[in-house]
Structure formats: C-alpha cells, structure tokens
Amino acid sequence: MERFFFHLRNGMGWVRDEEGCELPDLAAARVCAIGSIRSLLKDEIDAGRIDLRGRIDITDEGGRLLGVVPFHSAVELVLEDGEP
C-alpha cells in the first residue's frame, strides 16, 4: 500500500492534505479523489451554486505530483436537449 495525499485547489484557496490515505495504487487514488469532489459538489448544490473550476492534486509522500483531478471530470453535465 502506498500513501497518497489529496490537496484541494478551488475558488476558496488551497488546502493541503497533511494525513493522506493508504491505497493500493494511483487508480484507486483517482477514484478516491473523484468521490471527494462529488461530496464537495453536493454541498455546493445545497447552496445553489456549482463551481467546477477546482481540482485535487494527488501527490506521494515526497510531495511529487502524481496526478490532477479537475472537478469537471467528476461529473457529467447533461443539458435540457440531452446533449452533454
């Protein structure tokens, strides 16, 4: 198991993940990041405004950037006419 860190960047600023999470691989870390983004977006929906400009930066214990998960990649937007 590897330890991954999920640093949040959005309109409110930057939040560094100090604890991280042990996961089997980067694919599992991406799934975790998407779940975190969706949870954050639920709160925004309750407030009536969704900002998809944020992202989660995934790093290893040494601080090396392993991946970036943009908020917009965590959801699929469907317009009235059914077109994404």
Does residue 84 belong to any structural domain of this protein?
no
The answer to whether residues 3 and 20 touch, using CB atoms and an 8 Å cutoff, is yes
pLDDT at 83 over 80: no
pLDDT per position as a tens digit, 19-47: 999 999 999 999 999 999 999 999 888 88
Confidence of residue 80 (pLDDT cuts 50, 70, 90): confident
Considering the domain boundaries, does residue 82 fall inside one?
Answer: no
Query: Looking at the domain assignment, is residue 80 inside a domain?
Result: no
Q: Which of 66, 58, 70 has the alpha carbon at shortest distance from 7?
A: 58
In a domain, 21, yes or no: yes
79 lies in some domain: no
Confirm whether 83 is domain-assigned. Answer: no
Q: What is the domain count for the chain?
A: 1
For residue 80, give the DSSP letter.
T
pLDDT at 82 (0 to 100): 61
68 vs 14: CA distance, rounded Å: 14
Residue 76 to residue 84: CA distance in whole angstroms: 7
Tell me the residue range of the domain where 54 lies.
Answer: 2-74
Q: Taking the model in full, what pTM does it have?
A: 0.87
- The span from the first CA to the last CA of the chain, in angstroms, equals 37
